[in-house]
Each structure stands twice: as structure tokens, then as C-alpha cells.
Amino acid sequence: MGAFKNEKNGTWYVQFRYTDWQGLRQQKLKRGFATKREAQEWEQAFLTEKKADVTMPFKTFTELYEKDVRPKLKENTWLTKE
């Protein structure tokens, strides 16, 4: 858990490393959280999503897929995918 406070403007940010799907180490930085808890929750959600692998349940996969794809599509296009 790497939640830190930016003393200059009073916001929180997270900075951490994770292993991507190719096995490469990546660094992630996300700024602008109002509280430390928000920053830590965002980090946990990000890591949970990136941790997804072939052994995850199909329902979990479809939920991740919908969360990723739906905002990019028009409503009628999404309805044809359902």
C-alpha cells in the first residue's frame, strides 16, 4: 500500500508496482484523492482487476468486461451484445 499525501495541495495519491499479464513489472501513479481511504480503495480495485487470470469465474470476467467496454459503446450497441 503506497498512499501518500501531497503536502503542496493537500490531496492524496497512490504509487505502487505490479506485475502485468506479460510478467513485466509496471509502476502506477494516480493522484487527486480527497482522502487516504479513497486512494487505498482505488489501489485495491486496480490490483484486483489486474490480478484477473484464466481461473477467475466467468461471472467475474463478464462483470470486468462490461465495466471496461460499456462506457465506450452507444446504448443500442450494448443492447445487441446482451
Lowest mean pLDDT among 2-11, 36-45, 51-60: 51-60
pLDDT tens digits along 34-52: 999 999 999 988 888 787 6
pLDDT at 9: 94
**Residue 53 clears pLDDT 70, i.e. is over it:** no
**Residue 54 clears pLDDT 70, i.e. is over it:** no
Domains of the chain, residue spans = 1-51, 53-82
What pTM does this model have? Answer: 0.64
Q: Indicate the Cα dihedral angle 44, 49, 60, 21, nearest 10°.
A: -140
Residue bearing the bigger pLDDT, 62 or 11: 11
